[in-house]
Chains A and B, each alone.
Chain A
């Protein structure tokens, strides 16, 4: 009799504990869904007012209540592309150094240094970018680019320092640790036998990387790039400081612009007492949410596929 009650109590306690952990796990799903629902619900005012043309409208005038997302979407895409063009090859090549070239101790030190970059808060990147990096871009790097490559529309116009190029470079610095770390892990997983076979046929290190390691790990590297891309798109504080915050679309990388996240960060405070303006900013947030969601979704599915592939 006594034994059965203890057993029943144990089962009840276990059942309770099991249920509690399940609820906490499901909280993650609920929060994620709630974020999407709330962003949608709070942007209905803006959707009713502007409809689909919001996505392609370039105007931005809080006083006249004319709003369009085009310049923000454009700025987000341009700064992200610049960041990826810099961070992706650099991350791969640093990973190569860490895995193949350097002494294990050097590799560990350099690897931790790069990981430390990831621990620096994004506002520090932004502030450092504004006060230290922007003047250098403005007085040295960009004039030099203009004098050598000025025939391209990309490098024309007045040099301000706060522009797409600077924002892209700062973003690249921020996602570099992430891309490097994942690529390093992927390169570390290439079976030594494969590489040794390559070296045995007389291939150089670069040839082994190009023909063996990268093809072997290409899916993992692509997954890493997608995740890095997702981070760059939504990065707020670093970009807000250095992108210039104008609502213009220009083919020049020296032109100031804005990203979705920077516009929300800077203008939400002014919009608090203006329901339409606030709704517009939340709709921008919804657009950002959908973009990052899709990228994350692709990355997740891609990596899942990869894991299945590896198991079989």
Chain B
């Protein structure tokens, strides 16, 4: 180390300390600033119409995003139904059956790379393999795109959490004559329940805010894609048609110069951001609660 005066070393140290406090403040200021704008700008258009009326031309005052809200729920639900079971089972393989198998190393490797793949490319991929052959945008393809984004996250989270379960639990179950599948689904899963639920919820929250993969898959639609309002099946959404969703509607609205639409885009932002933040915070709290109970 170069010899330098104590005052100089101390001043550098104080300078760095101040800098690190300032940098942290800057990070927090931006967080509060963004949230503040989303809340104050969004709250003005977040009325009852927003939840009950469907999207429409900017010239009509009482339009809302009801169809987009329902569409987002459906697409996210579909993504969950596809992505979570496959992800859980894949994670089980990595943690239980093939922990040290070469296949697992490759799977982990590809899962990490898939997690880092830009989501818009997954949109193009689903466009090429589902939208083109089915000759049309569909809510279904949007759900598949989100499921692909969710898959590696659920696989890795499941593995990370199952590995924490002590081996003694597995051994005692097997010693009692339980088959592997029973040991995993009834013993290991139960021990890891809090962590698994948290991981899955965080993965769902994360994909529900995605926009890019839905641009060329679910696309958008200013109508509810019900089969028929008269039919008893009317609560089944027609996922084979272009499906309105919050994020793409926000994108389309925000890019226009029309004030009415921009306002609604802010309201949509408030809804989706609020939902994601609340769900994430609750999920985290649940996990830490689970941990303290166990420990």
Contacts and interface: CB of A to CB of B under 8 A. Distances in A.
Nearest to B13: A204
A285 B272 contact: no
A123 B24 contact: no
Contacts of A93: 16, 19-20, 23
B31 interface: yes
Given A97-B24, A124-B269, A227 B205 contact: no
A170 B28 CA distance: 14
A292 B250 contact: no
A228 B128 CA distance: 28
B242 interface: no
Interface string B135-178: 00000000000001001100100000000000000000000000
B97 A124 contact: no
Interface residues of B, number: 87
Nearest to B120: A236
B74 interface: no
A141 interface: no
B124 to A, nearest CB: 5
Contacts of A126: 254
Interface string B243-278: 000010011001100000010011001001100110
Interface in A164-217: 173, 176, 180, 204-207, 209, 211
A125 B276 CA distance: 14
Contacts of A121: 209-211, 247, 272-273, 276
Nearest to B112: A300
B155 to A, nearest CB: 6
A123 B209 contact: yes
A28 B151 contact: yes
Contact of B114 (A16, A22, A28, A90): A28
Contacts of A16: 181
User: Which 3 residue pairs of A and B lie closest in terms of their CB atoms, listed nearest first?
Assistant: A234-B118, A121-B209, A21-B93
9 contacts: A16-B181, A18-B97, A25-B104, A35-B117, A121-B276, A124-B34, A124-B273, A236-B211, A289-B117
Given A17-B180, A34-B125, 14 more contacts: A21-B92, A21-B96, A22-B98, A28-B151, A32-B110, A38-B129, A94-B23, A120-B273, A121-B211, A124-B34, A205-B13, A288-B118, A289-B121, A293-B117
